[in-house]
Amino acid sequence: MMSPRTVAVVGLSVALGLFFVFMGTVKLTPRLSRDAFNEMKRAYKEYAKALPVLKKMGITSIQLRKLIGTMEVTCGIIMTLVPGRPKDVANFILLLVALAVLFFHQLVGDPLKRYAHALVFGILLTCRLLIIRQADDRDKEMAVGDMAKEEQVEADTEQEKGKLKTT
């Protein structure tokens, strides 16, 4: 039976992964929702205008939207399907993307309702990372404790052998 922590991590991973696959797909193609796609195009034009450094680097609003959308889809698939550390790396990358999106919304002065989803999902990504980190720390503590117990048992055994030889 899986522990509650494992269930929470798996549930968060799948839900977050699917959300980011969906959002990334909306940024990349109008097939899911033409209105949402057009809104993304408009929003990313505003972001590119608000960040002149992007223009200096030769990055257009289309490239920025496609880059972020591709990262979201790729990391979302990893979060949903791939086990182990790659999932944690994808989680971290998506957290950085969520922070960048929050920065973009703040930069252009969007109201909270336009970026609340990025805020909520950024918090969920952070929670998932904290749960994983807590589990890793607990596993390390248990491994160190087990090693100390083994060493103590070995020392006790050696001490017993020494006593038996001298008597």
Query: What pLDDT was estimated at residue 146?
Result: 62
Cα torsion 113, 126, 39, 106 to 10°: value is 60
What's the pTM value of the predicted model, to 2 decimals? 0.78
What is the pLDDT at residue 155?
A: 67
pLDDT tens per residue, range 82-102: 988 999 999 999 999 999 999
Which residue numbers in the chain have pLDDT < 70? Answer: 136, 138-140, 142-150, 153, 155, 157, 162-167
Give me the DSSP letters along the chain.
---HHHHHHHHHHHHHHHHHHHHHHHHH-SSS-HHHHHHHHHHHHHHHHH-HHHHHTT--HHHHHHHHHHHHHHHHHHHHH--SHHHHHHHHHHHHHHHHHHHHHHHHT--HHHHHHHHHHHHHHHHHHHHHHHHHHHHHHHHHHHHHHHHHHHHHHHHHHHHHHH-
Residue spans per domain, the chain? 4-135
Whole-number pLDDT of residue 143? 65
Question: What was the pLDDT predicted at 165?
Answer: 61
